[in-house]
A and B are shown apart, each in its own frame.
Chain A
Amino acid sequence: MSEFTGNEIIHQYLRHNKKFPHVLCPGCGHGIVLGSLIRSVHSLALPKDDVVLVAGIGCSGRLAVYVDFNTVHTTHGRALTFATGIKMANPKLKVICIMGDGDALSIGGNHLIHAARRNIGITALILNNNIYGMTGGQCSPTTPEGAWSMTSPFGQMEKSFDVVELGAAAGANFVARGTVFHIHNLDRIVTRAIERPGFNLVEIVSPCHTQFGRKNKYKSPVDMYRWIKKNATPLERYNELSEDQRAGKLPLGVFVERDVPGLEERYQALKEKLMEGAR
C-alpha cells in the first residue's frame, strides 16, 4: 500500500467531475509541480476551502482547473493582481499563484516586482520552462542566450532573467529555486513557501520538451531531465565553486529567508490603531 500513498493523497484533491485527460504534453514537468503543491497543502493540513489557487494564462494556467480548491484562472500576466485583491479582501485565505515564465516575468513583470516589494502574503510559484509553450514556442524572458525558438531563429540574442535575483532584489520574503527532477526537495521548498508569511517566491525549473527541448538538441524528455540532474547544484556547494566552475550550473535551494510580516498583517495593525483612535 505504501508505494501508492502519494497518488492516494493526490486523488483526494483532484476534480473528478472535470474530464481528464489533462492538456499537458508527454514529458512536461507541470504535473509534477501540481503534485508537489498538493502534497504540500496536504502536509500542512490546510482545508481545501481555505486555499485559493490563482493561475495566469498558458500551460501553467491550465493547472488550476484540475484541483479542488477555490480556483481562479485569470488574464495573461495579471494573476498576482487578482491574488492581491483576494488576499487583502480576506487575509485568512492561503493564496497561491501559479505562473509561467512569460506570464510572471514578461507581461506580468511589473506586478511581480511590486507584489514582492509590497511583501503581500502570497505564494508565487513560477514554472520556468524557458519558452512560451502554449503559443507555440516563442522565446521568453528566461530563454537562455543562444537557444533556438520560433522568434529567435538565429539563437536568442538577449540576456535572460534570473528569477531568483530579481525576486530577492525586489524584496520578497522568501526566494527559492527547485526543479521537477528533485521532487522531495521541491516538496520541502513549496511547503515552506506556503506556510510562511509575506511574499514567497519559488522558481521551479520544469522542462518543456515539445516546444523547447525538441528544437534545442534534447532528443527526448528524458534528456532534459538528465540535463537538470547534471547541472543542478545545491546552493551550498555552488557557493564553493570558482567562477569558471559555476558556468552552466543551476544553483538550487533557499536564497532568501526573511521574516517580515506581510502587507495584509501590517494593514490590519494599522486598521486596529486607527479604529482604536476612533473610539
Chain B
Amino acid sequence: MSANGKKKGRKALFAQGNEAVVEGALIAGCSFYAGYPITPSSEIMESMAQKLPSRPEGVFVQMEDEIGGLGAVIGASLAGRKAMTATSGPGFSLMQEHIGYACMVEAPLVLVNVMRGGPSTGLPTSPAQGDVQQARWGTHGDHPIIVLSASDVQECLEMTVTAFNMAEKYRTPVILLLDEITAHTREKIFVPPVEEFEIVNRTTPTMPPEWYKPYEETVRGVPPMPPLGSGYRFHVTGLSHDINGFPTSRPDEVVALMDRMHRKIDQFLYQVQIVREIECADCEVCVVAYGSVARSAELAVTQARGQGLKAGLLKLGTLFPFPRRALEKILGHSRAVIVPEMNMGQISREVKRVNNGRAQVRTVNRVDGQIITPDEILKAIKKV
C-alpha cells in the first residue's frame, strides 16, 4: 500500500453496475459471451461486444433469442471456455430449461439477471427483486443452484469474479441477481489488478482418456471436466445418466447422480454462503436485506443506532443456498427480523422458514417499481 492509502496498480473507474460486471468477468477469465439484449441488462452485452473481440481468446456472439444465448454459453463451456450471459426477467424465464440442462450436465457458467418488474414484460426499467424464487426454482426438477447478489457497483465487480470461481469450482451454473438500481447507478470503483484475486479454474482430468469416467464420484463430488476435443471423448446428455454419461433409468444410478449433484454443493455450504454482518453482534432488531435495498437498510440501521435502537443488518451476498446458519446466530438474540425487499416477500419466506416462530418477522414490500427508502425501513425498525 502506498502513502496515500491507495493500493498500487488499482485502476479507478467511474462505472455503472453492468459495466462493473464486465470488468469482473474479464478479470475472472471469461472469454465467451453469447446472449440477447434486454433492458435493464443490455449494457453488459454491449460492453462485452466492445471488449471481447480485441482480446486474444475473446468471442462474442449475439444470438437470436435468450434460449439460444444460454445454449451457446453451455456449448462454449463444454468446449472449455469460461462463459457467461446476461438477461432480465422475461429472458430469464426463457432460459429456465437450459439452466436445468447446465445443472444436469454440470456445465460451469455465469448468468447475470438484472431483475425488472413483473410478471410478464412488467416494468422494463424499474427496479424490482421479483426473480429470487425463480432463480431458485425456475427450472423443473430438483437441483442445487448458487444464487448471488450485489448491492453496489464495487460489489458487482467482485461478485462476478466470485460467481465464476464458484461455477468453476463446483461445476455448476451460478446466477448473479442484480436489480436495476445497482445495475444502472454510476459510482467510482477500484479495479484491482488480476493478481489480487484468487482465480479458480475447473479441474481437468489427468488420467489416460480410456480410464476417464465423466461423471464419476470424487472426494469433492465434482468430477474433472475436459474440454471437448481434447482427447477425452464422452457423451453429454440432459437425460439421467450413469458415471459414463450414458442415459440410464436404473433407480440406483439415478439416485447416485442426484445425491452427488446436491452433495457437491451442500458439503461446502460455508464456502458458498457469503453474508456481511453490520452491527449484528448485539442487535435486537435485525434487518435482512440484499441488493440495492441493503444500502437503504444500512443507512436505516445507522440512523436507528443514532437514536439508541439496537438495530443490525444482515446483508445477503448469497441468496441460495440460503445462509441459514448466519441467520440462526442472529435469531438467538434478536426479538424481531425485518425483511425489506422489492417483491411480495420472496426472501422473507426463507427467513420465516429458518426462524420457525422464534422471533417476529416483519416485511417491507414494494412492487410498484419504486425504491425502498431508508425512512421506510427505519419506520419498521421503530415499530417492532
Number of interface residues, chain A, beta carbon within 8 A: 41
Q: Which residues of the partner chain A approach B71 to less than 8 Å between Cβ atoms? A: 74-75, 78, 81-82, 84-85, 111
Q: Once bound together, how far apart are the Cα atoms of A92 and B61, in whole Å?
A: 17
Chain A residue, CB-CB nearest to B105: A72
Q: Once bound together, how far apart are the Cα atoms of A271 and B54, in whole Å?
A: 6
Q: Which residues of the partner chain A approach B227 to less than 8 Å between Cβ atoms? A: 90
A65/B235 in contact, CB under 8 A: yes
Distance of B343 from chain A, by nearest CB (Å): 29
Q: A85-B34, A90-B80 are in contact. List 20 more A-B contacts (CB 8 A).
A: A17-B244, A18-B246, A49-B231, A65-B235, A73-B237, A81-B63, A82-B72, A84-B68, A84-B72, A85-B32, A85-B83, A88-B76, A89-B32, A89-B81, A90-B227, A92-B229, A110-B65, A267-B53, A270-B53, A277-B54
Asked if B171 CB lies within 8 Å of chain A CBs, one says no
B247/A85 in contact, CB under 8 A: no
Q: Which residues of the partner chain B approach A89 to less than 8 Å between Cβ atoms? A: 32, 59, 75-76, 79-81, 83
Partner-B contacts on A (CB < 8 A): 15, 17-18, 48-50, 52, 54, 64-65, 68-75, 78, 81-90, 92-93, 110-111, 114, 267, 270-271, 274-275, 277-278
Partner-A contacts on B (CB < 8 A): 32, 34, 53-54, 56, 58-59, 61, 63-65, 67-81, 83, 97-98, 101, 227-231, 233-239, 244, 246-247
A275/B56 in contact, CB under 8 A: yes
Distance of A233 from chain B, by nearest CB (Å): 34
Q: Once bound together, how far apart are the Cα atoms of A146 and B76, in whole Å?
A: 42
Chain B residue, CB-CB nearest to A118: B61
Q: Once bound together, how far apart are the Cα atoms of A93 and B233, in whole Å?
A: 13
B54/A93 in contact, CB under 8 A: no
Distance of B94 from chain A, by nearest CB (Å): 11
Q: Which residues of the partner chain A approach B74 to less than 8 Å between Cβ atoms? A: 82, 85
Distance of B79 from chain A, by nearest CB (Å): 4
Q: 26 A-B Cβ contacts within 8 A?
A: A15-B235, A64-B235, A68-B233, A70-B233, A70-B234, A72-B75, A72-B228, A74-B71, A75-B97, A78-B71, A81-B63, A81-B71, A82-B78, A84-B75, A85-B32, A85-B34, A86-B78, A88-B61, A89-B81, A92-B229, A111-B64, A111-B68, A271-B58, A274-B53, A274-B54, A275-B54
Distance of B111 from chain A, by nearest CB (Å): 14
Q: Once bound together, how far apart are the Cα atoms of A71 and B105, in whole Å?
A: 12
Q: Once bound together, how far apart are the Cα atoms of A84 and B234, in whole Å?
A: 19
Distance of B143 from chain A, by nearest CB (Å): 15
Given contacts A85-B83, A110-B64, A110-B65, contact A70 B98 (CB under 8 A): no
Given contacts A75-B98, A110-B65, contact A70 B228 (CB under 8 A): yes
Q: Once bound together, how far apart are the Cα atoms of A35 and B378, in whole Å?
A: 71
Q: Once bound together, how far apart are the Cα atoms of A17 and B228, in whole Å?
A: 20
Distance of B310 from chain A, by nearest CB (Å): 52
Given contacts A84-B61, A114-B64, contact A49 B229 (CB under 8 A): yes
Distance of B105 from chain A, by nearest CB (Å): 8
B97/A65 in contact, CB under 8 A: no
**Contact among B75, B230, B233 with A81 in the assembled complex (CB-CB below 8 Å):** B75
Given contacts A65-B247, A75-B238, A271-B53, contact A86 B228 (CB under 8 A): yes
Q: Which residues of the partner chain B approach A85 to less than 8 Å between Cβ atoms? A: 32, 34, 61, 71-79, 83
